[in-house]
């Protein structure tokens, strides 16, 4: 970290349901600043309950960027986020030397911190071949191909995100190499300090939080929210835990009880993959979400 630089981004990362939103709001209020969401789904206006978007009261308490910014029919990628977040930091730095970023989408946070590596060009016929196979066989085709042929990528992949899976398969078919070999090559130097804080809980407690949150989402009206989105169920933005399971229910593939069980199970699996991703990055310092005093002390020591 370059202490000569006056501006600092505090990143609050960790698995779903660990408590990132609450900590981020406390920090933003402490430093009188704003929050950039690093969540690949909360940016969509049509998704609310199922993506655990901050409440209207929370959004009113602290200005948030990258929430309700796009529609589900727009393509949003890590590159989209990188540019948006860099622009947002410059806006925030006009009135505060500190900005807060909070979210669980590891690839977005990595793109913001390190930049994106150059990816190989993909011949049009390969891209079309994968699109056709996906349209005929569904996401299971992508999952099985990558699990078998690119296990390194598959271990930490967003396994329900067809866009990411198709991209990885394109690179594999075009080059014979895993998309992971094109990552981490040349991290860029950002013109601000970055403090990386991870939030974690014992696994059994995190899983209790996840199960409780899913039950709360059902009580708050998730079933009606998903029902309204049925016409759009094939869009990439809706290949998301909490939505795809209820689409299965509405399409008469499973019972409602089974759909809810699947949401809980798939969310637990997603949280485990998030922890695997973030724990690989040794720049993170880890805290319990309720250890706020030590989080503040750590940040103040860093920005002093």
Instruction: State phi, psi for 155 to the nearest 5 degrees.
Output: -55, -40
The residue-averaged pLDDT of 269-294 equals 96
Are 191 and 249 in contact, with CB atoms under 8 Å apart?
no
Please determine, for residue 4, whether its predicted confidence score (pLDDT) is greater than 60: no
CA distances, 41 to each of 48, 78, 113, 128, 144 (Å):
9, 12, 19, 26, 24
Question: Is residue 94 annotated as involved in ligand binding?
Answer: no
Tell me which DSSP letter residue 238 carries: G
Distance CA(37)–CA(39), nearest Å, equals 6
Q: What is the pTM of this model?
A: 0.85
Distance CA(161)–CA(157), nearest Å, equals 8
pLDDT at 5: 54
Question: Is residue 20 annotated as involved in ligand binding?
Answer: yes
CA distances, 153 to each of 109, 147, 148, 228 (Å):
18, 8, 10, 34
pLDDT tens digits, one per residue of 16-50: 999 999 999 999 999 999 999 999 999 999 999 99
Question: Is residue 18 annotated as involved in ligand binding?
Answer: yes
Q: Provide the sign of the torsion angle of the four alpha carbons 288, 52, 282, 276, taken in this order.
A: positive
Question: Is residue 14 annotated as involved in ligand binding?
Answer: yes
Considering only CA atoms, which of 166, 188, 179 is closest in space to residue 75? Answer: 166
pLDDT at 156: 80
pLDDT at 185: 63
The residue-averaged pLDDT of 272-293 equals 96
The residue-averaged pLDDT of 65-90 equals 95
Q: What value does the mean pLDDT of the chain take? A: 93
Question: Is residue 16 annotated as involved in ligand binding?
Answer: yes
If pLDDT is split at 50, 70 and 90, which confidence band does 160 have?
Answer: confident
Give bridge partners of residue 9 from the DSSP assignment.
99, 194
CATH numbers and ranges of domains, the chain: 8-116+185-303 (3.40.50.300), 124-182 (1.10.20.140)
């Amino acid at each position: 970290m370059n202490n000569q630089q006056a501006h600092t981004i505090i990143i609050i990362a960790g698995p779903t349901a660990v408590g990132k939103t609450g900590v981020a709001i406390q920090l933003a209020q402490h430093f009188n600043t704003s929050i950039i969401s690093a969540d690949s789904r909360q940016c969509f206006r049509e998704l609310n309950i199922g993506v655990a978007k901050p409440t209207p009261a929370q959004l009113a308490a602290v200005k948030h960027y990258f929430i309700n910014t796009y529609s589900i029919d727009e393509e949003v990628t890590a590159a989209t986020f990188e540019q948006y977040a860099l622009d947002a930091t410059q806006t925030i730095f006009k009135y505060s030397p500190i900005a807060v970023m909070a979210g669980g989408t590891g690839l977005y946070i990595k793109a913001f911190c390190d930049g994106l590596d150059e990816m190989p060009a993909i011949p049009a016929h390969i891209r079309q071949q994968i699109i056709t196979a996906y349209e005929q066989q569904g996401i299971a085709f992508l999952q099985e191909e990558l699990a078998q042929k690119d296990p390194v990528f598959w271990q930490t992949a967003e396994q329900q995100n067809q866009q990411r899976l198709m991209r990885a398969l394109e690179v594999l078919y075009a080059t014979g190499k895993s998309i992971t070999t094109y990552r981490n090559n040349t991290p860029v130097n950002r013109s601000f300090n970055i403090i990386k804080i991870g939030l974690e809980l014992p696994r059994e407690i995190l899983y209790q939080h996840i199960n409780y949150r899913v039950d709360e989402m059902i009580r708050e009206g998730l079933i009606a929210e998903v029902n309204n989105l049925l016409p759009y169920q094939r869009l990439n933005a809706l290949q998301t835990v909490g939505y795809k399971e209820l689409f299965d229910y509405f399409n008469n593939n499973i019972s409602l009880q089974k759909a809810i069980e699947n949401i809980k199970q798939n969310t637990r699996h997603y949280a485990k993959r998030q922890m695997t991703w973030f724990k690989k990055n040794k720049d993170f310092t880890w805290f319990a979400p309720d250890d706020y005093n030590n989080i503040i002390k750590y940040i103040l020591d860093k920005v002093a």
